[in-house]
Structures are given as C-alpha cells and as structure tokens.
Chain A
Amino acid sequence: MTTRVVHYINQFFAGLGGEDTATVPPASKAGAAGPGRKLAQLLGDDFEIVATVWCGDDHAAGPEVMDDLLALVRAAGPDVVVTGPAFTSGRYGLACARVAAAAAAEGIAAVACMHPDNPGIDEAGTAPVVASGEVARQMGPSLETLAAAVRKVAAGEPLGADDGRVGKIPRRNVTVDRTSAERAVALVLARLGGDREATEVPLPRFDQVTPAQPVTDVTTALVALVTEGALVPDANPDSLESARATRWLRYSLDGRDVLPAGEFRSVHGGFSTVWANEDPHRIVPLDAARQLEAEGAIGKLHGEYLVTAGNGTSVGNARRFGVEWAADLRRQGVQAALLTAT
C-alpha cells in the first residue's frame, strides 16, 4: 500500500515568487511541487506526495490561517504530513512547525525540517523536527535527512539524534523520591568527585539574532512602537495576562497624541506599576514619537502599538511573539520599530 504524503512549503518554493508574494493566501494542488519532486524521488514508490499545500510567509506566520491550512492538509487524506525544509527562514520555519504541530495534535503522523537555529523550532509541539542545512543551497542533503525521517515516522518509529532530530523532546514533570535539595547535594558530591557532566537540566541553546540593516533614511520611514510593558486601555478589555502571557495585542494610535493617565495602565505583574500608570508614556513614548514625527525626524508613526507582558513568559512564546510582530509589521510596511522593555 502506498503511503499518502502531504507536503507543506512556502510561496517561494511553490514557485510563486519571493518577498513580493509573501502575502499569498493558503492554497494547494495535487501532486508534488518544488522540493517535493526531489523528495518524492528519494521516498520511492512506496510513498506518494498526494498534495502540496503552501502559503505566503507573512500570512503563514499569523495564527489565524492555521485552520485554513489544516483544512487543505486534511482534504488530501494524508498518512504523513511533511513540512519544509525551512532552513533558517523564521516565518517559513514557524509555519512548518505549526502545520506539523497541528497535524500531530489531530493524530496524523508529521515531521518538520528546519535548521536548529530556526526560531520556529520550538513551535512544533509534539511533532519531531529534523535538521536541514542553513540555506537552500543545502537542499539536497536536507531532503535526504527528511526522506529518511519520513520513512521512520510513517512506520511509527521514534526519531533520535542519529536521524538528525533537533529541537526539544518534551520534558514532563515527574515526582522522584529525593527532594531537589538532596539531589543538589548528591550532584555537588559528584562534582567534587570529578564528574563534570552530571546535570538534570541540559544547557539550552539560544540562537543569536543578527540585527537588521540600519534604516537608510529614518526621515521617510514608517516607525512602530512596540512594548512588553503590558500597557493597555484602563479596563484591560482584552484581558492581557500580567504574567505568563500567551498572546499579544494591538491598540490604535490613530488620532492620538498622548496616552493619558487613567485611560491607559500597565497590567504587568513583574514590577511596581505606580510610575508607569502616573505617566503611560514611560512605557509607550507616544508623546516623544509624535514630536519627532512633527519635526520630520521620522517619516510617520505607525497607526497602532503592539503589546504583551514580559513576565514569566516562556522563551518559546517570547520568540513566537517576536516572529509574529515582525511579520505583522512587515505586512503593514513598517521599516523600524522601537521596543520599550521594563
């Protein structure tokens, strides 16, 4: 019996164009496309890529399209869902991870492929991720890794480091006999005995962010204000969490020159908000930004600010907010953002 594979790729690999077409909506076609053709060859006759699903990167990074993408995937009746390779492309990686995660959550076998530094890597949920190269030049070897992983996943076999598995294997809370303090003493005695390897927590690996190129001419740039300082309208109408935020929000600045005390407040749980609430510009400096706009020092201020609460936030969520903000601001033509942090 042939294993039915659905392959997710982005607009670029679907042959629709680069950044200029990054806003195309979700779509699909029968059969393999782009890198899927080579993947189909590597998988051989026991597998068939029955459909290719794609989406523009700017859309795919937003959470709202996931239902549409999953509907297209489901319509093709897959045994296995394969996404990528996404290399180090952030928005594409996020989409690959989320499609694989959504498929896995529905009980469909899934595997994603991206570079270990891709910011999407922690979004794959319980779906495994295998490593691609850094750039599309490394497509060949990346597809070989992926094809081998697809065979294993289709057979229900677990993937390990030898298969190129990267990203986190889910860590679960368990109860053990000794207290944490007793285990710490055992660990310190092991260290004194010369054991330099023993640990209960593997060292996390953080990606290094390469700063964007400087803005060529800030006097013509569209500039956005963004913050983790949890500044929201006084009634907190969208119930932003004060800690462990799982989402971010947007509020309009159109027609506003100031953020008056009493109309806006910070719901951040990580610091005393007395001074922030006395003058909300201490969190979102709209007053100064409007002045710079009037003086022509910046081109124009973006019509809304983006906000979340950075307090006890998981690194995975914080990274996702960053990628989503970048995609959202790019879609709206923003060239620079001022991030105020508390």
Chain B
Amino acid sequence: MRAVALGDQTTYDAGTLTVSSAEAAALVADPALAEVRVSWASPGDSTRIVKVLDAVEPRTKGPGGGGIFPGFVGPAMPQGRGTTHVLRGTAVVTAGFLPRAQEAVVDMSGPAAPLSPLGTTHNLVVEFAPAPGAAWEAVYEALRNGSLALAARLAEAALGATPDAVEELPGLPDAGDRSLPRVAAITNLQTQGTFKEIFVYGRSFGSIALPTLIDPGDLDDGAVVSGQLGHPSLKNPTWVFQNHPVVAALRARHGVDLLCAGVVLSPEPVDATNKELVSAHAARLCKAAGFDAVIVTKEGGGNADADMALKMDALEELGIPTVALYAEMAGADGTGPSIVVPPTKATAMVSTGNYDERLSLPAMERALGGDRVDVAAATALDAFELPAAVVYASLSPLGWGHLTCQEAS
C-alpha cells in the first residue's frame, strides 16, 4: 500500500486504499459498543497509538470464497489452499482501554517505530466506547469479531486490481521425502483464559489441550487469532500469526537446505504438571512426524520460558536438535540473568532483545487509543522513557524483529 485515505466509499486504486468511515464503523458495531471511530496512522506520522489491543492484516480468499479467518469470518474448516489476497503494508488495529490489558505503545515515527510491526504499516485504528453496562468480555469479543470482518472487507476492495506481487508458497513435503532435513515450528500459544487466550479456527485453544499439528497454510488464512492482552512486547498479534516469521524463514530455505515440514500448535498450561505433560507430548509428536529439527517460540513472560525450556529438553532427549527464541529479561542495565527458566540439555537460543532496557520516545502531535500512558506517568503526547517491554510486539516471540542483545564492549 502506498497511500491511504478516508472517503465516502471503500475503494482500492493503484496502491491507494480509501475507507468509508461509516462502513467501517458499521462492520465493527455491536450491542457491547456505544461508539466506534476509525482513523489512519501511517509510517512517518507524528502519531502515537496507545493501549493497542490487536492488529489484523487485511486478507480475503476472493469472491464468494469465505474461507478467511475460519471460525470467525469463514466456516471453521482447515484452509491454506488456493489463493489468498493480501493488502501488504496495512493493518486494522484496535486500541483503547480494556481492564486486563497492559499498556502497549506504537510510535509511527522516531526510534520506537522500527521496533514494532505496526510502525511500518498503514494502520486503520479502531477506537471505541463501551456500551453502558456491557461486560468487558463482550466488548473485547465485539472488537475481535469486528476487526476481522473489517480486515476481510478491506481486502475485498482490491479484488479487481492486478496484484503488485504474487508469491507461490510451498505446501507440506511428501511424508517420505527425506531429501533434506525436515524442520518444523512449535508455536506455543498463551492459554490463560479470557483476555489471555488464542483462538484456533475460532475456538479458544484449551489450557491443557494436547499439541496439534497444522498445515502452515492455515496460518496464512488466519486460522490463529489473538485474544491476548498481557506482555505488550511479548505479544503475538493476529497480524504476526498471519505472517508467522519462523514459517516464512523456513519457507525461504525450503528445498534449498531444509524442508518446511509443519507447525505444531501447543498450549502454555499454567501449572508445572501440565507443562511437563504437554512438552513431553510435543516431543513425541515431533518424533512421530519425522521432524529432524524444531524451532520453538512462546507468548508471554517468564512463565512461558518454562514451556520452551521443557520442550527444548524433551526434544533433545529424543535426539531432535532444537532452537528457541527467547526475549531476555536482564534488568534495565542488562546485567541480570537473561532467562527466567533456561533449558538444561539444549543450548541453542536466539535473543529477541532485552525486555527491561529503556528507550526514550519523542513527543508526538497526535495520539490514538487514549490520552494517557500511565506506566510513564505522562500524557500520550509527551516525550518519555519506557522499557522496551511496553513497545507493542517489539521483542516478537515469533521472530518478527531485528533486535538482539550483545555484550557491551
């Protein structure tokens, strides 16, 4: 997308997306919402989005092909086949106060902009006022359903246009194909109940569900949707699940030096016994599936480190080399221990940066999502200092970002 605007009708023309505010608000409208407003925030703007809840990339399966976001927009059936139309460089972003949400900030310019996936996209920001007496759960559900419907609608606006780029994505390799190492992704999903859950085919993934194998193509079509409001920098927004960076990196090497062999979705139970069960089971599943190596990712803070450590160890015990993506929690000065729960048998870890290191954000001319940033005791327009932990998806557990940690010289 090269330019965006608001207008009377929702249209796409030669790299410009125009959105009808009235149509967008109507798509999100719900008895739990008293008011819905949309506005654009684009890269380079002097704009700060605060209280960011989720981001969705506009996609559709085409005319009459209601397969996108299965379980929400499309029917709850496996997807990942045929054509998916994508509005690259855009996102539908919900932002505003919800009681269980930790403050999450996106700057559209300045030093924090390149740290968040949303600092690089044209964002249609959906703000809202809850209906009097509406339950917060219903407000959150309305925003989720509405932003998915809106994202699908925006993509439909471009169906008549010639695509700027066409990518052919590899399907799963044949079961017997041993020509190259079969490498899979284990994607741990936060499963702590309402406000801290992830949806798969529209269903909340259970806290003690057993790990399950899915086709990576399902992710492209939005089978995994976020309902998770904790740990802003360590969140996996729907937008990042749709563009699963580990799957993308595996596909980039598919047929060259590895085979992208599948995705295992796994819960992150809250208690140790179930963490151990789920980890042991995930390792067995990977062994049975014939994976030669695995990359493990998480969602959440230190608690979620334990799930990765247990899986890494369980996989290494079965002889499957494993790499995990960890955010470091090394304190503001970077001298504390990096990882809350380290593995004991595995050692190969990628650092997505230090959660606690602080950065200075400049003053902005416009704020969306709210007026204040309480964690910085400041208005949303002020210049202030924050830990990286507050910058939305800046330490992306799924590996979107370019941050890492190095020892100071």
A contacts, CB < 8 Å to B: 122, 124-126, 167-185, 187-192, 196-206, 242-244, 269-272, 311-317
Task: Give A317's nearest chain B residue, CB to CB.
Answer: B331
Q: Closest Cβ of chain B: how far from A188's Cβ, in Å?
A: 5
Q: Closest Cβ of chain A: how far from B353's Cβ, in Å?
A: 5
Query: How far does the alpha carbon of A189 sit from the alpha carbon of B254 in the complex, in Å?
Result: 12
Residues of chain B within 8 A of A199, CB atoms compared: 347-349
Query: How far does the alpha carbon of A196 sit from the alpha carbon of B345 in the complex, in Å?
Result: 11
Given contacts A181-B398, A184-B350, A204-B338, 20 further A-B contacts (CB under 8 A): A122-B337, A125-B335, A169-B407, A170-B407, A171-B354, A172-B408, A174-B404, A179-B400, A181-B245, A181-B249, A181-B295, A185-B183, A185-B258, A189-B258, A191-B321, A201-B351, A312-B301, A314-B356, A315-B331, A316-B336
Q: Closest Cβ of chain B: how far from A1's Cβ, in Å?
A: 29
By the criterion CB–CB under 8 Å, are B340 and A315 in contact?
yes
Q: Closest Cβ of chain A: how far from B234's Cβ, in Å?
A: 9
Residues of B346-363 contacting chain A, CB below 8 A: 347-357
By the criterion CB–CB under 8 Å, are A243 and B357 in contact?
no
Assess whether B302 is interfacial by the CB under 8 Å rule.
yes
Assess whether B342 is interfacial by the CB under 8 Å rule.
yes
Identify A122's interface contact among B335, B343, B351, B405, CB under 8 A.
B335
By the criterion CB–CB under 8 Å, are B334 and A168 in contact?
yes
Assess whether B231 is interfacial by the CB under 8 Å rule.
yes
Query: How far does the alpha carbon of A203 sit from the alpha carbon of B329 in the complex, in Å?
Result: 13
Ranked nearest first, the 3 interchain pairs of A and B with the lowest CB-CB distance are: A181-B399, A316-B336, A181-B245
Residues of B318-336 contacting chain A, CB below 8 A: 321-323, 325-326, 328-331, 333-336
Residues of B165-218 contacting chain A, CB below 8 A: 181, 183, 192-195
By the criterion CB–CB under 8 Å, are B405 and A200 in contact?
yes
By the criterion CB–CB under 8 Å, are A200 and B351 in contact?
yes
Query: How far does the alpha carbon of A196 sit from the alpha carbon of B316 in the complex, in Å?
Result: 11
Task: Give A187's nearest chain B residue, CB to CB.
Answer: B323
Query: How far does the alpha carbon of A203 sit from the alpha carbon of B339 in the complex, in Å?
Result: 8
By the criterion CB–CB under 8 Å, are A184 and B399 in contact?
yes
Query: How far does the alpha carbon of A171 sit from the alpha carbon of B353 in the complex, in Å?
Result: 9
Residues of chain B within 8 A of A197, CB atoms compared: 347
By the criterion CB–CB under 8 Å, are A272 and B407 in contact?
no
Assess whether B290 is interfacial by the CB under 8 Å rule.
no
Known interface pairs A168-B337, A185-B253. Does A312 touch B355 (Cβ–Cβ under 8 Å)?
yes
Residues of chain A within 8 A of B253, CB atoms compared: 185, 189
Task: Give B251's nearest chain A residue, CB to CB.
Answer: A185
Identify A171's interface contact among B230, B231, B407, CB under 8 A.
B407
Residues of chain A within 8 A of B338, CB atoms compared: 171, 201-202, 204
Residues of chain A within 8 A of B342, CB atoms compared: 203-204, 206
Most buried by B among A170, A192, A198, A242: A170
Give 30 pairs: A residue, B residue, CB < 8 Å, sorted on A: A122-B336, A124-B335, A125-B333, A168-B334, A170-B335, A171-B335, A171-B354, A172-B405, A173-B403, A174-B405, A176-B402, A177-B402, A183-B404, A184-B246, A184-B350, A188-B295, A188-B321, A188-B323, A191-B323, A192-B181, A192-B183, A199-B348, A199-B349, A201-B350, A203-B342, A203-B347, A313-B302, A314-B330, A316-B336, A317-B331
Residues of chain A within 8 A of B334, CB atoms compared: 168, 170-172
Query: How far does the alpha carbon of A316 sit from the alpha carbon of B339 in the complex, in Å?
Result: 11
Residues of chain B within 8 A of A192, CB atoms compared: 181, 183, 258, 292-293, 321
By the criterion CB–CB under 8 Å, are A180 and B396 in contact?
yes
By the criterion CB–CB under 8 Å, are A187 and B336 in contact?
no
Q: Closest Cβ of chain A: how far from B405's Cβ, in Å?
A: 4
Query: How far does the alpha carbon of A142 sit from the alpha carbon of B330 in the complex, in Å?
Result: 28
Query: How far does the alpha carbon of A255 sit from the alpha carbon of B230 in the complex, in Å?
Result: 37
Residues of chain A within 8 A of B400, CB atoms compared: 179-181
Assess whether B162 is interfacial by the CB under 8 Å rule.
no
Task: Give A174's nearest chain B residue, CB to CB.
Answer: B406
Contact mask B82-95 → A, CB, 8 Å, 1/0? 00000000000000
Residues of chain A within 8 A of B407, CB atoms compared: 169-172
Residues of chain B within 8 A of A177, CB atoms compared: 402
Query: How far does the alpha carbon of A75 sit from the alpha carbon of B337 in the complex, in Å?
Result: 34
Q: Closest Cβ of chain A: how far from B169's Cβ, in Å?
A: 16
Assess whether B100 is interfacial by the CB under 8 Å rule.
yes
Known interface pairs A170-B408, A200-B404. Does A179 touch B356 (Cβ–Cβ under 8 Å)?
no
By the criterion CB–CB under 8 Å, are B331 and A180 in contact?
no
Q: Closest Cβ of chain B: how far from A171's Cβ, in Å?
A: 4
By the criterion CB–CB under 8 Å, are A198 and B408 in contact?
no
Known interface pairs A170-B335, A184-B295. Does A272 touch B100 (Cβ–Cβ under 8 Å)?
yes
Residues of chain A within 8 A of B347, CB atoms compared: 196-197, 199, 203
Assess whether B250 is interfacial by the CB under 8 Å rule.
yes
Assess whether B223 is interfacial by the CB under 8 Å rule.
no
Query: How far does the alpha carbon of A55 sit from the alpha carbon of B178 in the complex, in Å?
Result: 67
Query: How far does the alpha carbon of A182 sit from the alpha carbon of B400 in the complex, in Å?
Result: 9
By the criterion CB–CB under 8 Å, are B337 and A181 in contact?
no
By the criterion CB–CB under 8 Å, are B402 and A316 in contact?
no
Query: How far does the alpha carbon of A180 sit from the alpha carbon of B230 in the complex, in Å?
Result: 21
Query: How far does the alpha carbon of A317 sit from the alpha carbon of B348 in the complex, in Å?
Result: 26
By the criterion CB–CB under 8 Å, are A184 and B339 in contact?
no
By the criterion CB–CB under 8 Å, are A170 and B333 in contact?
yes
Query: How far does the alpha carbon of A203 sit from the alpha carbon of B348 in the complex, in Å?
Result: 9
Q: Closest Cβ of chain A: how far from B142's Cβ, in Å?
A: 20
Assess whether B248 is interfacial by the CB under 8 Å rule.
yes
Residues of chain B within 8 A of A191, CB atoms compared: 293, 321-323, 348
Residues of chain A within 8 A of B348, CB atoms compared: 187-188, 190-191, 198-199
Residues of chain A within 8 A of B303, CB atoms compared: 270
Assess whether B43 is interfacial by the CB under 8 Å rule.
no
Query: How far does the alpha carbon of A125 sit from the alpha carbon of B326 in the complex, in Å?
Result: 23
Identify A167's interface contact among B230, B335, B351, B396, CB under 8 A.
B335
Q: Closest Cβ of chain B: how far from A217's Cβ, in Å?
A: 33
Task: Give A175's nearest chain B residue, CB to CB.
Answer: B402
